[in-house]
Amino acid sequence: MKFLITGGAGFIGSNLASHFVKVGHAVTVFDNFSRRGSESNLAWLRETAGDAFAVVRDDIRNADAIATAARGQDVILHMAGQVAVTTSVNDPRADFEANALGTFNVLEAARAAGTQPIVMYASTNKVYGGMEAARIVEADGRYGFADMPQGVAETWPLDFHSPYGCSKGTGDQYVRDYHRIYDLPTVVFRQSAIYGPRQFGVEDQGWLAFFAICVTVGRRFTIYGDGKQVRDLLHIDDLVQAYDAAIRNIDKTAGQVFNIGGGPERSLSVWTETRPLLEGLAGKSLEVNFGDWRPGDQKVYISDIRKAQAELGWTPQIGPAAGLKTLWDWTQANKHLFR
């Protein structure tokens, strides 16, 4: 099949591109190369895949460019967009244009592609907002849900917070509706805390990679809140398998929304549980700064992944300790990329 991957030189996009090239598909990477690390990721793809994929250097905000790239494609994996809440607050127009308008352009390009391509959209758990109605308990150095032992299901009400939540949520709903209105086989993945090699994490996006990079280069970083807040973690290799499974099962998955994360078994508190894992890898004790809670920072978010498990035939395989080791090994081997 012919695959178009928007944001294909990003963290998730480059890992998806590598996988689908390896299993024999024709891949086109579409990226504006504005994000740190994208050129490095492209170089890595060249090393691992040679010339077995095409590259289009352009922007999803350019409707003509994405329409041209989409023609004749069988699958469009839409990973491109603005990724940080802080950035969206500072520049909401740019955030809207990248996420909401960019996703609209991708959908219109798919509708005109002539092939009714599968469209998969990387959404976010931020579409559920602050989840103030969820009861939170604290025990053993971590927060947890009092009434949702399996985590947040897809039935939880949408509640967009921040310009980022609004723009990603707009794309989320447009992608879903283009299946209902235009019969495009679209799938939405509401993703939670994806991590792994080739992730150039920054303070407000990709926190686990950011921690690993800071420790690797000896840079002190800040924990906002008390460090007991919990996230479910999903290794990039497990995420790639989820995308593969959704495509293979498109007869069942078209028009569906899935919460995609590590689930309760692969959750960690941001510092109280992550710290000993990082210290074990670094071979030393780590000192950090602490700052006030950031607005809208959830004390706990864990994805209920039972729908994905049932309908995709997929279950995460990599636990946080083993997964963090792969991320750590990558940062250690690529220190020159972070200085």
- Alpha helices of the chain — where are they, by DSSP H? 11-22, 38-49, 63-70, 85-90, 92-96, 102-111, 162-182, 207-217, 236-248, 250-253, 274-282, 306-312, 320-333
State the pLDDT at residue 294.
Answer: 83
95-109 pLDDT, tens digit each: 999 999 999 999 999
Catalytically annotated residues: 164
Say how far apart CA 191 and CA 36 lie, in whole Å: 21
**Cβ contacts of 308-311, under 8 Å, gap ≥ 24:** 308/242, 308/258, 308/259, 308/260, 311/249, 311/252, 311/253, 311/256, 311/258
- For the chain, give the mean pLDDT: 96
Domain harbouring 71, CATH code: 3.40.50.720
- Predicted confidence (pLDDT) at residue 153 exceeds the cutoff of 80: yes
Say how far apart CA 32 and CA 255 lie, in whole Å: 28
3 state DSSP class of 77? strand
State the pLDDT at residue 234.
Answer: 98
CA-nearest of 253, 264, 254, 246 to 314 is 246
CB neighbour list of residue 204: distance below 8 Å, 6 or more residues apart: 84, 85, 86, 87
State the pLDDT at residue 333.
Answer: 96
Among 22-31, 96-105, 173-182, 201-210, name the one with the lowest average pLDDT: 201-210
Band of pLDDT at residue 138, cut at 50, 70 and 90: very high
Q: What percent of the chain has pLDDT over 70?
A: 100
Split into its structural domains, the chain has a count of 1
Domain residues for 64? 2-337
State the pLDDT at residue 297.
Answer: 80
pTM, two decimals, is: 0.97
277-305 pLDDT, tens digit each: 999 999 999 999 999 998 778 899 999 99
67-76 pLDDT, tens digit each: 999 999 999 9
Band of pLDDT at residue 159, cut at 50, 70 and 90: very high
State the pLDDT at residue 105.
Answer: 98
CA-nearest of 285, 292, 289, 278 to 222 is 289
CA 23 centroid distance within chain: 22
